[in-house]
Amino acid sequence: MKRLILIASIMLGGLTISQAYRQTETTHIEKQQEQEWQRGQTITLRPGQSTDELAALFAITPIDEATEKRMREGGSYKDECPIPLADLRYLHLVHYDYNGRIVCGEMVCHKIIAQKLIDVFTELFLAHYPIASIRLIDDFGANDEVSMSHNNSSCFCYRAVTGGKTLSRHARGLAVDINPLHNPYVKINAQGGILKVEPNTPEAKAYAKRTPRKAHMIDHSDACYKAFTQQGFFWGGAWRTIKDYQHFEWKR
Ligand SMILES: [Zn+2]
């Protein structure tokens, strides 16, 4: 893994991140509150200070009680899900958004790809790669269409594949969707005609055709494509009759 080399201090609401983390280490309840509070928050870097705080923002943690509650109430985790919560992980991470701000993100994934995703998102952060939003799909009612329409990037959700009944790789926490509004799921016919676009919005439809290239489109030259495929993920944009440009999955 590429080590973080930024010299930075991270300020969040007047506290450095390390202070915030130290506070939340004191009791389990405070940790839960900190997770609730952190996601979606923007942070700023200040040169000339400690580096350790930044590395601490990319962390793998078990699914704690507060996260389990969010996942059950939000709907991403259902009783019939064959993957035990013990096999899932909650990731803390930071990313650049479309406006160049640094945002606290989060993701639930299967434990076998947790470190790979930390490596991917660390690489993308260091490359200043813009990702609009990375929050649990439960913040969008575990509704993939709603999450995609909000251009939210996510991983775990216990659901069927788009347009089908078989379980998605997302149901095992083994697939990640990135910037879905601008990298939609596109079903095409043998002649290359577009049959279906998800999310079903005018903005996503404007990104169904991939040439000429527009900002935030994932293609073979894209840093996101490279970061995921170098870790061994397969890209949905390479499929033939379905082009799932947002989708990277682990198949091993
Ligand atoms: Zn996907």
Question: How do the pLDDT tens digits run along the chain, 252 residues long?
Answer: 434 433 333 444 433 444 433 333 323 333 434 444 478 899 887 776 456 777 778 999 999 999 999 999 999 999 999 899 999 999 999 999 999 999 999 999 999 999 999 999 999 999 999 999 999 999 999 999 999 999 999 999 998 877 777 889 999 999 999 999 999 999 998 888 899 999 999 999 999 999 999 999 999 999 999 999 999 999 999 998 899 999 999 987
Instruction: Give the three-class secondary structure for 197.
Output: strand
CA distance 130 to 112: 25
pLDDT in the model for residue 97:
98
143 contact partners, CB below 8 Å, separation of at least 6: 75, 137
Task: Using alpha carbons, list the distances in angstroms from residue 135 to 55, 92, 233, 240.
Answer: 19, 10, 21, 29
Task: Using alpha carbons, list the distances in angstroms from residue 23 to 27, 64, 72.
Answer: 8, 17, 27
What is the distance in A from the centroid of ligand 1 to the CA of 49? 38
- Please report whether residue 4 resides in a domain: no
- Please report whether residue 206 resides in a domain: yes
Helix %, strand %, coil % for the chain, to 5?
Answer: 35, 25, 45
What is the distance in A from the centroid of ligand 1 to the CA of 240? 15
Check if the beta carbon of residue 186 is closer than 8 Å to that of residue 247: no
How many domains, in total, are found in the chain? Answer: 1
What is the distance in A from the centroid of ligand 1 to the CA of 92? 20
Q: Residue 161 sits in which domain range?
A: 9-249
pLDDT in the model for residue 5:
36
Q: What is the DSSP string of 87-125?
A: GEEEEEEEEE-TTS-EEEEEEEEEGGGHHHHHHHHHHHH
Query: pTM of the entire structure?
Result: 0.84
- Please report whether residue 53 resides in a domain: yes
- Please report whether residue 23 resides in a domain: yes
pLDDT in the model for residue 50:
56
What is the distance in A from the centroid of ligand 1 to the CA of 175? 6
pLDDT in the model for residue 14:
39
- Please report whether residue 1 resides in a domain: no
Residue that the structure tokens 């650049």 belong to? 96
- Please report whether residue 2 resides in a domain: no
What is the distance in A from the centroid of ligand 1 to the CA of 23? 36
- Give the total residue count for the chain: 252
Burial of 195 from C-beta contacts in 10 A (0-12 / 13-18 / 19+): exposed
What is the distance in A from the centroid of ligand 1 to the CA of 218? 13
What is the distance in A from the centroid of ligand 1 to the CA of 107? 14
CA distance 71 to 65: 10
Check if the beta carbon of residue 151 is closer than 8 Å to that of residue 132: yes
Task: Name the amino acid, one letter, at 146.
Answer: V
Tokens, residue 115? 């470190």
- Please report whether residue 3 resides in a domain: no
Check if the beta carbon of residue 164 is closer than 8 Å to that of residue 196: no
What is the distance in A from the centroid of ligand 1 to the CA of 208? 15
